[in-house]
Amino acid sequence: MIPVDAPAIRRPTANRDTIGTTRIAGAGLSDHPFLIDPDTKSPMNYGAICDGTARPLSTRYTTLAAAQSVYGATLVTALNQDIDTVAWQSALATGRLVTFPSGRICTLRARLTLAVTGGIIGDGTGRFVANATDFSATVLASNASDTLIRSDQGRNIVLRGFGVAFTSAPDSFTRAVAVTRASGILVERLDLSGFNAGNLIEIDSSTDARVQDNVIRDGLLDRSGSTSQLTGIAIDDNLVSGVASRRVQITGNTIRNLLVTAAFRASYGYQSDGITVLPSAIDVAVTDNTVIGVGEGIDFQASGGKIAGNTVRVSYQFGIKLIHGASNNTVSSNAVTCPGIGGITVWGGSAKASADNMVVGNSVTEVNCLGEYDRNTTWAFGAADNGLAHPSNNNTFVRNVASGGEKATAAYYWAGVGTGNTANSAQISGDYRRPSLAPPFNGTPMSATLKAIKAH
């Protein structure tokens, strides 16, 4: 594994919202209260210091009763609690938006829980600093996890314009942001770094969510006894009562260098994803994201979605993978460079077939560029059962470009018992050993066609 140079951080485009406009951009998002009522809170007014140094309440209050008289007995139970953390929680409990102090570094030593409304907004210059050793629920032996900032059953929640710098510990498992059973969600322009396991932005069982223009970077999965993953953005990974997330937009995010240690890779492989969408999610669009230096760029398992305009570079296994019944999706205008095994692949499913996906106008180049795999086992585009119970059927690949195949076998790889998979109007560079490969699988090659090949 190699670190990858960081791209320029993407900034919001003109059609995205700014404070003072009348609506948060995004399909179905409701007006947020701060747009019609500008009253916000500051953690500084609740006693926060935010100079980057953790201080217990005991440095300010001589007795527990004195601290409880200010913050309440429910919130404060011991004088060793962190001043910044208690102040932030007090401000968030108002249900208002809390403004992150410009340029300040606030310590975070316990989970922040949002009220039913509200959230955090900043100008991008302030950040939380947190250490895994302060979150006891991350202990591997319990196979538990913790979350730094959490919203449950909220509405019109906004998290925007601040950073979280995390110091991990061996075998810790801590999410940065988790939003569950909420509606009208905007997670924007966060800068999250240093995490070593878990989903860094997780949306579960929620509707009308927009996750945009965030930077998620520099994580290292190092758990010694678990097959946990490190994932930048995940949708419905912890589904609540079978309720699916609906109308989710993941756009303009930059995810880079979510790596694994050599020891972890030897046991479990590259278990890191840029973006993961689980099968339950409905109407999910993954657009214009940049993912660099991960195990898999986009792992998409839902149906009826859109994956368009994304850039994936140096994905140690797959660039874009549709699997576990992903169906009726459109995958278009994506650029995948240096995938390890395959560029854009439709695998089968354990519960149902992955079928009727349209893969159109994408480019895949420099497959296996790091040379980690046998050349005979890598490809640009593919449809295969992958040993799963249900095959890949009726997937159409149109006007895709495969180039830079010096270290790959085939531009198109077909394997399994699926039927109706086709590739039309393909452009394939002459350095691929084969334009199409359909190896025997269960005694027969997959029924597939490749026509209108144009060498370039």
Instruction: Identify the CATH number of the domain in which residue 360 sits.
Output: 2.160.20
Instruction: Tell me whether residue 7 is in a domain.
Output: no
Instruction: Tell me whether residue 41 is in a domain.
Output: no
Instruction: Tell me whether residue 18 is in a domain.
Output: no
Which whole number is the average pLDDT over 66-75?
Answer: 96
Report the 10 Å Cβ neighbour count for 441: 18
Residue 145: the pLDDT is: 63
> Where does residue 137 fall: left (phi above 0), alpha (psi -120 to 50 degrees), or beta otherwise?
alpha
Q: Convert the pLDDT of each residue in 149-189 to its tens digit.
A: 999 999 999 999 999 999 988 777 888 999 999 999 999 99
Residue 202: the pLDDT is: 97
140 vs 156: CA distance, rounded Å: 34
Instruction: Please state the domain count of the chain.
Output: 1
The answer to whether the beta carbons of residues 367 and 407 sit under 8 Å apart is yes
The answer to whether the beta carbons of residues 204 and 233 sit under 8 Å apart is no
Instruction: Tell me whether residue 4 is in a domain.
Output: no
The answer to whether the beta carbons of residues 172 and 210 sit under 8 Å apart is no
Q: Sorting pLDDT into bands at 50, 70 and 90, what band is 121?
A: very high
Share of the chain above pLDDT 90, in %: 66
Number of Cα atoms under 13 Å in the Cβ half of residue 91: 24
Instruction: Tell me whether residue 167 is in a domain.
Output: yes
Instruction: Tell me whether residue 160 is in a domain.
Output: yes
Mean pLDDT of the chain: 85
**pTM for the full predicted model:** 0.89
Q: Which domain holds residue 381?
A: 110-455
Question: Residue 456 has which token pair?
Answer: 């370039």
Instruction: Tell me whether residue 237 is in a domain.
Output: yes
Instruction: Tell me whether residue 10 is in a domain.
Output: no
